[in-house]
Amino acid sequence: MRAVHTSYLIPHTLKGFLMEFVYRRTYRGPLQAVVLDWAGTTVDYGSCAPAAVFVEVFGQAGVEITAAEARGPMGMHKQDHIREIMRLPRVAAAWAERHGSPPGETDVQQLYEAFTPRQMAVIAAYADLIPGTLAAVADFRQRGLKIGSCTGYTKEMMAVLVPAAAARGYTPDEVVCGTDVPAGRPQPWMALVNAMRLGVYPLAAVVKIGDTPADVAEGLNAGMWTIAVARTGNEVGLSKTELENLPAADRETRLRHAYERLAQAGAHYVIDGIGDVSAVLDEIAAHLRRGEHPLT
């Protein structure tokens, strides 16, 4: 049997001209999996649990931070999240004034150690499913999709949240935490570990769904389609009741800001919440049938 070698870049000669044609494999198969974020996407409408605890632990360290400052790095591993808050010029200056020197890694670790038990103490209280989650999961199952998940929470925190969500009817096939990989978001490792554990490839057959720019970056860096949820997540940052009680003009302003920020992060689609995912999956499936991929 004769072996045939094919190269990626193949030169062709036509009437004395050298032309180069690029050939590549194109996946035109179905979607195979979704990878869902937790807080702000499937549980904890508004991603309220972590924001409140960040404000609390900084305050107890003598430095007051705003809710907006607490929410800025949301979606990252919580230790990285604290580090990013400390890098904010206003917070760094306030810390130096209060403690006599700029914040350092020892301070990051001390706040992280204070944050962890406080977050674990309240996490189950914010485990209610976001409306539309169970219907969306049922649709994913009907489509034959595997369901992965990843989070900025640690394994210890998820040991509390996962059973609380299961008691409400939500159990994904996989749960990957920032502590399971070398680095959390925006690096792609949690999304990639989900794909590996679920046994799905190519990565163009996977959709990453989350509520923060870090979620979007994670999905893009993993080579996946990305869907960002705006209304229910960190970028609006309000519980369902709080959002509904806002004056209409204020509510529209918050929603517009959330949509713009997530679109600017590079999300392929921005929607209100998980209940709107199914229609977008139909569009992504159509893209794949045409040979279109997330990175094209």
The CATH code of the domain that includes 249 is: 3.40.50.1000
**CA angle, 71 as apex, 69 and 73 as ends, to 5°?**
95
In three-state secondary structure terms, 103 is coil
pLDDT tens digit sequence for 101-141:
999 999 999 988 898 888 888 888 899 999 999 999 999 99
Q: E strand or H helix at 122, and its extent?
A: helix 105-122
Rg (CA), the chain: 22
How many domains, the chain? 2
Q: Is residue 175 part of a domain?
A: yes
Which position among 37, 44, 80, 211 bears the catalytic label? 37
* Residue 89 shares a structural domain with residue 200: no
197-215 average pLDDT score: 97
- Please give the residue range of the domain that contains residue 120: 50-124
Active site residue 37: yes
pLDDT tens digit sequence for 62-115:
999 888 888 888 777 788 889 989 999 999 999 999 999 999 999 999 988 898
Rounded Cα distance between 230 and 223, Å, is 22
| pTM for the whole structure | 0.83
Length of the chain: 296
* Residue 141 shares a structural domain with residue 273: yes
The CATH code of the domain that includes 89 is: 1.10.150.240
Active site residue 272: no
Regarding beta strands 206-210 and 176-177, do their DSSP bridges make them parallel or antiparallel, or are they unpaired? unpaired
Q: Is residue 10 part of a domain?
A: no
In the block, tokens 């159990």 appear at: 171
Which position among 44, 78, 80, 215 bears the catalytic label? 78
91, 124, 157: which is the final residue of a domain?
124
* Residue 143 shares a structural domain with residue 90: no
* Residue 66 shares a structural domain with residue 199: no
Q: Is residue 205 part of a domain?
A: yes
* Residue 102 shares a structural domain with residue 200: no
76, 107, 124: which is the final residue of a domain?
124
pLDDT tens digit sequence for 154-197:
899 899 999 999 999 999 999 999 889 999 899 999 999 999 99
* Residue 271 shares a structural domain with residue 133: yes
Rounded Cα distance between 104 and 109, Å, is 9
